Amino acid sequence: MKQRRQKAPSSKLPISVQAQVVKTLNDNHKDELVYIARHYGERKTAFSARIVDLDSNGFTLVWKYKPTDDGDGGNSEDQEKAHDEEMLFAFRTQAKNSEDVLQSIGSLAEDARKALKVSEGTKLPVRPEDRAKYSGNSTTTTTKGGKQAFELVDFTFQPPNPIAAILVIVGMIGCTYTIYATNNSMYKDAEEPYFIKLLSPLATPLTLRLISIYAWVVHLIEASLATALCTLIHVVSPKQMPKDTAVRWVLGTLAFGIFCFHGLWTRIGQQFQKLDG
């Protein structure tokens, strides 16, 4: 068996994003991975495949196959006789985010699907430059009624820029303290807190209190909207928004506010654009 590819030190994908993409592919796109194994691995009897290593430069795919060519495998007797094999795949261009990864693997899956003459389309996006060569892109599937489904946007959670995240957390801590410190009952008979004195040239204690309360209200509204949107997407398309992904978006928005909610809202806008297209 070949050795697994070592992660390149120049990988642009955070470890958390790599792990989430691998989980998404292994849990929700098992058929596409089997297509890739059967076609590129030249193992027509491959019946199970999973990604064991991934970064911005490529991935390692491991699959199980029957040592004979008399069938597709899949029952318990076949699986007891199954052999393991793996192959290394390099992306044509270095992936900058999770969507680049899914598009690159989607193009591989679509090529494999066509070569294997599988009628049902894959559910992964394809690279933009590859769309022209397909009669339908890799995420175009056929419903029971014969209508074509639309291309799905990748909703894999990506945390905000670390600097922005730190600023939001510090800001919300400051707002919390301001609300507490500007409570008249707290320092009615005592000296005004130093923090309030420091900001007094900019605004009165009452103004600072109102601004801080407003910031928290907006923050909670963003988290509530993220909860509602993620719940709706999960109900409509559970593979596109698994529960764990929805929880990450909600907690991320609760912690980082607009810097996280903006990413979710942008993806929803992209999905509506694909619907219109």
Return the pLDDT at 10.
52
176: left (phi over 0), alpha (psi -120 to 50) or beta: alpha
Q: Which residue has the higher pLDDT, 155 or 189?
A: 155
Instruction: Taking residues 237-251, report their average pLDDT.
Output: 84
Model confidence pLDDT, tens digit, residues 131-162: 555 544 334 433 333 333 345 677 888 788 88
pLDDT band at 9 (very low <50, low <70, confident <90, very high): very low
Give percent of the chain above pLDDT 90. Answer: 13
Would the pLDDT of 213 be above 50? yes
User: pTM for this one?
Assistant: 0.49
Return the pLDDT at 259.
87
Instruction: Taking residues 29-49, report their average pLDDT.
Output: 90
Scanning the chain, the segments in alpha helix (DSSP H) are 15-28, 30-40, 76-80, 98-116, 162-181, 184-187, 194-199, 205-236, 243-256, 258-276
Cα–Cα distance measured from residue 36 to residue 42, given in angstroms and rounded to the nearest whole number: 9
Return the pLDDT at 238.
77
Retrieve residue 107's tokens: 């193009």
Would the pLDDT of 200 be above 70? yes
Return the pLDDT at 138.
37
Would the pLDDT of 105 be above 50? yes
Ordered domains of the chain (ranges, CATH)? 15-133 (3.20.180.10), 162-276 (no CATH)
Return the pLDDT at 74.
47
Which residue, chain included where needed, has tokens 């991934």? Answer: 54
Instruction: Taking residues 25-53, report their average pLDDT.
Output: 90
Are 113 and 33 within 8 A, CB to CB?
A: no
Return the pLDDT at 49.
93
Would the pLDDT of 171 be above 60? yes
Scanning 13-135, the segments in alpha helix (DSSP H) are 15-28, 30-40, 76-80, 98-116
Model confidence pLDDT, tens digit, residues 68-94: 644 444 454 555 577 888 889 988 888
